[in-house]
Amino acid sequence: MDQKRIDNTAESEATTREPNTTYELFIGILGVYSLLVVGLIFLLPASSPAREILLVADTLTCFIFLADFFRSLIRAPRKRAYLKWGWLDLLGSIPGILILRLARLRRLGQVAGVLRQQKRGKVFRRLSQRLAESAIGGTGLVVILALTFGSLFILQAERQDPAANIRTSADALWWSFVTMSTVGYGDYFPVTRWGRLLAILLMTVGVGIFGVLTSYLATVFITPYQKDKESTDDIKSLRDDMAALQAKLEVIERLLKDSKT
């Protein structure tokens, strides 16, 4: 009976453990973005190239939310309890069926509940305490937004010019990705003023993204090494202090023996 109570207590503690605020905020913003994308898809005509770009963006978010579903399932202490409503997360992650995106409202409600339980100052404090995770989450959002709206804007800016070579949704997506990665193959390039300004913006964003990724990788690989080194130094210092204390005790012991004799 006592063992059962202990198991239930451990399970309850695992169930109520504090969620990752940074990750939940990332999923919440991405969920709102995905619903806006679906709304725009329904408003645009079927033959619109912009609609094709938004469909690609919707498919990309589907894979992210599918990964989020499996993450939640793996971390859930009770899988059946999670799947009671968690199957809606899986349903909302199926690509190609836009109406299923309404199932993401459950996940958004869950995120809102997590953030509502915490004060605004506490949320910002958590974000500042996990700068590396906050930076990588923000970078992921910037990549998705820049790829989507960069493709939409370059297509709108270039398609009206007779000399333009970016005319289809595939051309626009390829150009946005290549420009943001700062590779610049040169097979597609903007010829209008607004298109070139957009290219400057995307290249600047791309340089910033690589800078953040480099810093994050440095944090991941260097910080544990520094912690291990600090721990080793602390242990060595503690051993030296213990040895000095032992030597002093031996001296005191000899003095006591000499005084008795």
What residue numbers bound the domain in which 65 lies?
2-221
Any residues with CB less than 8 A from the CB of 18 and at least 6 apart, and which? none
Residue 228: inside a domain? no
Report which DSSP code applies to 159.
T
Domain count, the chain: 1
Q: In the prediction, which pLDDT does 9 show?
A: 41
Residue 251: inside a domain? no
The string of pLDDT tens digits covering residues 115-146 is 777 766 666 666 666 666 777 788 889 999 99
Closest CA to 27 of 85, 109, 86: 109
97 or 115, which is more confident: 97
Residue 51: inside a domain? yes
**Which of 58-62, 70-74, 88-92, 209-213 is predicted with the least confidence, judged by mean pLDDT?**
209-213
Half-sphere exposure of 176 (CA within 13 A, CB side): 25
Contact 53, 166 (CB under 8 A): no
pLDDT over 80 (residue 195): yes
| Global confidence as pTM | 0.71
Q: In the prediction, which pLDDT does 8 show?
A: 46
Neighbours of 189 (CB within 10 A): 17
Q: In the prediction, which pLDDT does 4 show?
A: 46
Residue 260: inside a domain? no
pLDDT over 70 (residue 52): yes
Structure tokens at 172: 């626009």
Residue 48: inside a domain? yes
Residue 248: inside a domain? no
Q: To the nearest whole number, what is the mean pLDDT of the chain?
A: 81
Instruction: Say whether 109 sits in a helix, a strand or coil.
Output: helix
Res. 6 pLDDT band, cuts 50 70 90: very low
Q: In the prediction, which pLDDT does 242 show?
A: 80
* DSSP secondary structure letters along 47-100: T-HHHHHHHHHHHHHHHHHHHHHHHHHHH-SSHHHHHHHHHHHHHTT-TT-GGG
Residue 215: inside a domain? yes
Report which DSSP code applies to 45.
-
Closest CA to 201 of 143, 136, 146, 137: 146
Q: In the prediction, which pLDDT does 33 show?
A: 94
Res. 11 pLDDT band, cuts 50 70 90: very low
Q: In the prediction, which pLDDT does 127 show?
A: 64
Q: What is the CATH number of the domain that holds 213?
A: 1.10.287.70
Residue 256: inside a domain? no
Any residues with CB less than 8 A from the CB of 55 and at least 6 apart, and which? 41
pLDDT over 60 (residue 15): no
pLDDT above 70 coverage of the chain, percent:
78
